[in-house]
Amino acid sequence: MPDTESVLVVGAGPSGLTMANELVRHGVAVRIVDRAPAAATTSRALVVQPRCLEIFEDMGVVDDVRRVGRPIPSLNVVFDVDKSARVELGDVFLDPVNYTAHQSLYSLSQDDTERILTAALTERGVHIERGVDVTGLATDADGVTVSVRDGDPIRCDWVVGCDGAHSSVRRAAGLPFEGATYADEFIMADAELEWDLADGDIYAFPNREGFFAAFAMPGTHRFRIFGNVGVGPDGPAAEYSEPTHEQFQAMMDERLPFPAKVVKEYWVSRYRLHRRIVPHYRKGRIFLVGDAAHVHSPAGAQGMNTGIQDAYNLAWKLALVVRGIAEEPVLDSYHAERHPIGERLQKTTDRFFTILSGHSPTATFVRTRVAPQVMPRVLTRFSFRKWFAGILTQLRTAYPNSPLNHQNGSGWKTAPAPGDRARQADVIIDGEPGRLHDLLQGTQHTVLLFNGIGDEAQPLTELRRAAERIERAYPDLVRAHVISTELSADGVVGDPDRSAHGRYGITRAAAFVIRPDLHIGFRGTPVNADSLLADLAARLPGASPR
Q: From the options 3.50.50.60, 1.10.443.10, 3.40.190.290, 3.40.50.2300, give the CATH code of 4-60+106-179+275-358.
A: 3.50.50.60
| Each residue's pLDDT tens digit, 369-389 | 888 888 888 877 888 888 888
Which CATH architecture group holds 406-539? 3-Layer(aba) Sandwich (3.40)
Q: How many whole angstroms separate alpha carbon 96 and alpha carbon 424?
A: 8
pLDDT confidence of residue 489:
66
**Residue 125 identity (one-letter amino acid):** G
Radius of gyration (Cα) for the chain, nearest Å? 25
| Each residue's pLDDT tens digit, 229-273 | 866 555 556 566 899 999 999 999 999 999 999 999 999 998 888
Backbone angles phi, psi at 255, to 5 degrees: -110, -10
Q: Is the pLDDT of residue 2 over 60?
A: no
Q: How many whole angstroms separate alpha carbon 291 and alpha carbon 392?
A: 18
Question: Could you give the residue range(s) of every CATH 3.40.30.120 domain in the chain?
Answer: 406-539
Q: How many whole angstroms separate alpha carbon 400 and alpha carbon 420?
A: 7
| Each residue's pLDDT tens digit, 185-212 | 889 999 999 999 999 999 999 888 888 9
Q: How many whole angstroms separate alpha carbon 284 and alpha carbon 42?
A: 35
Backbone CA torsion sign across 168, 169, 171, 175: negative
**Residue 545 identity (one-letter amino acid):** P
Mean pLDDT of 496-511: 95
Helix, strand, coil percent values for the chain (each to nearest 5): 35, 30, 40
Strand intervals (E) in 1-82: 4-10, 30-34, 47-48, 70-72, 74-80
Q: Is 174 exposed, middle or buried (0-12, 13-18, 19+ CB in 10 A)?
A: exposed
Q: Is the pLDDT of residue 1 over 50?
A: no
Q: How many whole angstroms separate alpha carbon 64 and alpha carbon 305?
A: 17
Q: Is 245 exposed, middle or buried (0-12, 13-18, 19+ CB in 10 A)?
A: middle
241 neighbors 270 (Cβ within 8 angstroms):
yes
Most confident among 91-105, 112-126, 254-268, 336-350 (mean pLDDT): 112-126
Question: Could you give the residue range(s) of every CATH 3.50.50.60 domain in the chain?
Answer: 4-60+106-179+275-358
Q: Is the pLDDT of residue 420 over 60?
A: yes
